[in-house]
Amino acid sequence: MKRRVVACVFWLAAGIVVPLADTAKADDVPFFASRDVPDYEASMVVREWWGQVITFPRLVLHHQGWTKVEEVRPAVTTISYGNYLDNDLILWIDKGDDQEDFGVAIILKFTPPEVRETGDVAIQSGEVCKWWELVQTVQEEGVKQPPWRSCLSSDGIEVGTKELFSEIPDANGTELVKLERRPVAESEVRPPKRIFEPAFWLKPLRDYPDRPADRVDFEAKMRMVGGQSEIRLLRHYPWRLEERRGSGGLVQFKLWNELEDQGIAISTSDDQYRFEARRSPRAPAYPYTNFDKTMARIDLKRNEAHLGETCTWFELTSDLLNPVVKNVGKTECVTPDGVPLKFTGLDASGASESFTAVEVKRRPVDLKEMLPPSELMEPSTWGFTVGD
């Protein structure tokens, strides 16, 4: 069952959109209508429609408001952690059948849905339950998603769900197979601590070729034209760092591997609270990483002088097939050895920001200098306590 909440971080200054997930499911955390739900373990079957109906198992563990949900679908295992009533965040990790360990971790904010009792009653594997209707609003778009329903037992346990699509009646949902009300240890609903360790995500996947001439190591500081935001850039091929800080406590941190789908992206401010980490080889069919959606680099045949250097303007186009990133673009003025001196970002609304370099140093850069600040990787920053 997929209650979809689109979530993206807009790196406007860089002209790059970093999707934190194609979609996030609001039911990654089971719906609770009250706080006195007992500890339990529930085995369920998920039914989804993707041209044809597929089914796969779902295991839910609950302890004092915290849940762990594990779904084993074809080719991938997905595990989600969260607290529906006290924590408006979902930690979502997955592991492909061809991976030795988790390859993706995403933390997303979700907006609690509008809820109402329908008055309908059902029976799920011997458990009598009452249906609730829930409607989710997508924060970025401000639109309501199709409603879904959650069936709660007499003591508040979610024992069934269904998504309401008129063209596919009852195609998507979950059904209870077995429910055991038993003590669940706190450790059973805590995410593994390595999810918050940079070394886990940034371990090299292979040996890399020698640095190209236009990928020199450098450190640069850039300042917004007419604004207060500043950006720090570092490169140690194939690694690239962009760290932006601005008013209102805005922090946007993005460290990625230019040759792999590997890196860490974090955004935290009053209205943004998102985390993404990935580590997998870049798929041959895709010419970009998940952290840099640049589809093409077009020479605009225009040069400019800045800080005593000459740079050439390029247009970087993004994934125009994705409606979320449509019209998002970037132009940048880059030196022959790959140091950006100026850039302008444009988002889908037409808003733009321009930055110019105020300091540039070509020097050896160590990956250790590029690691995210410890407070951004601290589990408590994200509202989680970790296990082993």
Q: Is residue 271 classed exposed, middle or buried when 0-12, 13-18 and 19+ CB atoms within 10 A define those classes?
A: exposed
Which of 99-103, 245-249, 300-304, 376-380 is predicted least confidently? Answer: 245-249
Answer yes or no: is pLDDT of 8 > 50. no
pLDDT at 250: 84
pLDDT at 20: 35
The two three-digit tokens of residue 34, written as one number: 């009250």
The one-letter code for the residue type at 13 is A
**Phi, psi torsion values for 202, nearest 5 degrees:** -100, 5
pLDDT at 24: 43
HSE (CB half, 13 Å, CA atoms) of 149?
20
Selection from 292, 280, 345 nearest residue 319 by Cα: 292
Per-residue b or e along 292-327, where b marks 16 or more CB atoms closer than 10 Å to that residue's CB: bbbeeeeeeeeeeeeeeeebbbbebebbeeeebbee
Cβ atoms of 386 and 379 closer than 8 Å:
yes
- CATH H-level, domain 4-195: superfamily: Lipoprotein localisation LolA/LolB/LppX (2.50.20.10)
pLDDT at 293: 74
CA 298 to chain centre: 29
Over residues 205-232, the pLDDT tens digits come to: 999 999 999 999 999 999 999 888 999 9
- CA–CA distance, 56 with 74 (Å, rounded to integer): 8
pLDDT at 201: 97
pLDDT at 67: 97
The two three-digit tokens of residue 329, written as one number: 């673009």
Residue 240: CB atoms within 10 Å: 20
- CA–CA distance, 97 with 84 (Å, rounded to integer): 29
Mean pLDDT for the stretch of residues 131-143: 73
Over residues 314-348, the pLDDT tens digits come to: 998 765 445 444 445 789 999 999 999 999 987 65
Give percent of the chain above pLDDT 70.
84
pLDDT at 143: 60
The two three-digit tokens of residue 105, written as one number: 């971790």
Domain boundaries, the chain: 4-195
Beta bridge partners of residue 340, listed in sequence order? 334
For residue 296, what pLDDT band results from cuts at 50, 70 and 90?
Answer: confident
Over residues 144-201, the pLDDT tens digits come to: 667 889 999 999 999 999 987 655 655 689 999 999 999 999 999 999 999 999 999 9
